[in-house]
């Protein structure tokens, strides 16, 4: 148990430090701009590029793993979407963001830091694959659903162009694709650039976790709608359970890849849920509250999952 706490407490401790700093030190939210830039455009892209470029190309083409994890994420989204539509009396725009809350884990800010700390460098490839394909899924689904259910009509062509722009200009996805290309070509950057990327990679997790804590702290907290606790339960409990069950049932995956997928699915709602809510000006406050409550609740659920993994109590086959 001491090993689990020594892993989980520093991880969540950085989020707590960021949260406390955001609450105590009254720096305007604009003061986060350069730290967020470092995390989103430099540190995490360096992490994904370095890892993907140094991975044998055959490991990056694991179609069964990609299909299984994306299918579970999509199913979780659908469950949360339908539940949100029921609770919001058929308001499908609000239900769409509720679906994002229930299905989109914080795979960007929290995923790499947790999986690499818990499982080592061998977890980076499945971490990057899950991030890329889960993000692509939601960058595609949300604009389509908002276009279909909203009063504004962008048209098919404009919607498709918007989706392509969101996917292929996201720095994490661009870095991952460049890493895959480098791996395919067996190309390595010059020593000076490689060392710079190493510095940035090492800064990714601590900066991302601290920035997450501050960002959550700066969000106002008001009365939480009745459906939010259930959406958080879908995210923290149903999502990892589905992914674990499907990967174990399919078989043929290494324990590290199974554990990585389950850990990524167990993460709280992504900050992108709030970003998307604000972008479409719908379900903004509930999404903000869900990110805050989900992050706090994940301290218990993720720590419990880490305990199961560390003690080898989470089977990776039904026939062991």
The pLDDT assigned to 152 comes to 55
Residue 115 and residue 48: Cα distance in Å, rounded? 13
pLDDT band at 253 (very low <50, low <70, confident <90, very high): very high
pLDDT mean across residues, the chain: 88
The pLDDT assigned to 157 comes to 80
pLDDT at 317 over 90: no
Question: Which of 163-172, 252-261, 290-299 bottoms out in mean pLDDT, i.e. has the lowest?
Answer: 163-172
262 near 243, Cβ under 8 Å? yes
Each residue of 118-144: pLDDT tens digit?
898 889 889 989 988 998 899 888 988
In terms of Cα–Cα distance, which of 68, 64, 15 is closest to 239? 68
pLDDT at 319 over 70: no
Residue 129 and residue 64: Cα distance in Å, rounded? 12
The pLDDT assigned to 83 comes to 97
pLDDT band at 192 (very low <50, low <70, confident <90, very high): very high
Question: Which of 93-102, 186-195, 204-213, 282-291 bottoms out in mean pLDDT, i.e. has the lowest?
Answer: 204-213
**Percent above pLDDT 90 for the chain:** 44
Residue 142 and residue 274: Cα distance in Å, rounded? 13
What tokens were used for 254?
Answer: 């290494």
pLDDT at 52 over 70: yes
pLDDT band at 237 (very low <50, low <70, confident <90, very high): very high
How much is the pTM?
Answer: 0.86
Of 96-100, 155-159, 286-290, the range with the highest mean pLDDT is: 96-100
205 near 38, Cβ under 8 Å? no
268 near 115, Cβ under 8 Å? no
pLDDT at 247 over 70: yes
DSSP letter at 105? B
Section 63-82 average pLDDT: 96
DSSP letter at 312? T
Residue 79 and residue 128: Cα distance in Å, rounded? 25
97 near 104, Cβ under 8 Å? no
- Second CATH level (architecture) for the domain 2-310: Up-down Bundle (1.20)
Section 213-221 average pLDDT: 82
Q: ∠ CA 178-208-35 to the nearest 5 degrees?
A: 90
Task: Please report, for the chain, the start and end positions of each structural domain, with discontinuous segments joined by +.
Answer: 2-310
């Amino acid at each position: 148990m001491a090993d689990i706490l020594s892993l989980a407490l520093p991880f969540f401790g950085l989020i707590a430090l960021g949260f406390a700093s955001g609450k105590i030190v009254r720096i305007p939210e604009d003061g986060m701009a350069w730290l967020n830039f470092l995390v989103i455009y430099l540190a995490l892209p360096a992490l994904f590029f370095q890892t993907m470029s140094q991975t044998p190309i055959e490991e990056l083409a694991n179609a069964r793993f990609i299909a299984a994890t994306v299918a579970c994420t999509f199913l979780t989204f659908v469950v949360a979407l339908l539940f949100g539509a029921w609770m919001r009396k058929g308001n499908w725009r609000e239900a769409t963001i509720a679906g994002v809350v229930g299905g989109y884990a914080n795979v960007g800010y929290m995923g790499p830091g947790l999986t690499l700390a818990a499982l080592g460098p061998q977890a980076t490839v499945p971490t990057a694959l899950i991030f890329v394909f889960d993000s692509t899924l939601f960058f595609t689904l949300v604009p389509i659903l908002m276009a279909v259910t909203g009063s504004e009509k962008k048209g098919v062509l404009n919607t498709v162009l918007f989706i392509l722009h969101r996917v292929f200009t996201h720095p994490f996805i661009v870095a991952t694709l460049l890493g895959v290309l480098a791996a395919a070509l067996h190309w390595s950057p010059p020593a000076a650039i490689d060392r710079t990327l190493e510095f940035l990679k090492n800064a990714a997790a601590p900066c991302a976790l601290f920035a997450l804590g501050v960002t959550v702290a700066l969000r106002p907290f008001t009365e939480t709608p009745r459906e939010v606790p259930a959406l958080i339960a879908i995210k923290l409990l149903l999502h990892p359970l589905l992914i674990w069950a499907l990967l174990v049932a399919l078989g043929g995956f290494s324990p590290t890849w199974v554990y990585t997928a389950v850990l990524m699915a167990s993460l709280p709602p992504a900050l992108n849920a709030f970003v998307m809510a604000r972008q479409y000006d719908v379900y903004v406050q509930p999404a903000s509250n869900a990110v805050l409550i989900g992050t706090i609740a994940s301290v218990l659920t993720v720590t419990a999952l880490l305990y199961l993994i560390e003690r080898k109590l989470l089977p990776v086959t039904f026939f062991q």
